[in-house]
Amino acid sequence: MRRWFWLCIGIVLVCGCEMFATDGAEMVAPQALKPGVIVPQLRVGVKVRISVVASGEPVMEETVKEVSASGDIVMPLIRQVHCVGMTIEAFQDELTKRYKEFYVDPLVSVYYVPMNEGGSSPYGSVLVTGCVGHPGVVSIPPTCDLTVMQALQLAGGMGQWANVNGVRVTRTFADGVRQQAVIDTERIGRRGAAELNIRLMPGDVLDVPESNW
């Protein structure tokens, strides 16, 4: 019995406790993380180009608006429009409905401002923390194919003392369920374990802990 006890203690020490999830999340294998859904939508900080035409005349020239911290966009005449969480089509319909109170058959056009022109990603972002060059938010590109290794690279790469065998991905779902997986990035790079280089979802937290030795 004592032998088994000390064997278990040894396993915990060697693994650096990476087998246990934090904050009550369910620990799963990387490939077993439930897939999320990436829907382009208006989020805080996202910028859009908007124009309004009625009776062939511009009511509002094309202008750039940004979703505020409270989830709103302020428009001429119709004022504040709460739009966070809307698709761009739903937002366009809402603007059209409101402008119909003042104009006959208004034509409203709304487009996302691309990321390469200073816009934020309507596809969401992930948070990279821990032992990386530039901890912070990494935006998901329009291709929606942001992987663990890509996110780490965009965050400045892993630091000298990073635990490359214990990178954590934590994912929280709409129903409050949280899952966590530990990814051995060394296996991805040196052994070609591409299946571990999973695609990240909006709201994921990617944490790189420091090595214990």
Q: What is the pLDDT along the chain (213 residues), one digit of tens a residue?
A: 444 433 343 433 334 444 456 667 899 999 999 988 899 999 999 999 999 999 889 999 999 999 999 999 999 999 999 999 999 999 999 999 999 999 999 999 999 999 989 899 999 999 999 999 999 999 999 999 999 999 999 999 999 999 999 999 999 998 889 999 999 999 998 888 999 999 999 999 999 999 876
Residue 20 pLDDT = 53
* Residue of 82, 64, 77 whose CA lies nearest to 103: 77
Residue 24 pLDDT = 79
Amino acid, single-letter form, for residue 41:
Q
* Residue of 182, 211, 146, 150 whose CA lies nearest to 25: 182
Residue 36 pLDDT = 83
Stretch (H or E) spanning 71 = none
Give the list of residues 6+ apart from residue 163 with CB closer than 8 angstroms, or none.
Answer: 16, 18, 131, 208, 209, 210, 211, 212
Our measurement of the distance from residue 213's CA atom to the centroid of its chain's CA atoms, rounded to an integer in Å, reads 31
CB atoms closer than 10 angstroms to residue 198: 21
HEC secondary structure over 4-47? HHHHHHHHHHHHCCCCCCCCCCEECCHHHCCCCCCCCCCCCCCE
Sheet holding 26-27, edge to edge: 26-27, 178-183, 167-172, 205-208, 125-130, 136-139
* Tokens 């001429």, located at residue: 76
**How far is residue 81 from each of residues 106, 161, 175, measured CA to CA in Å?**
17, 47, 27
Cβ(168)–Cβ(206) below 8 Å: yes
Residue 152 pLDDT = 98
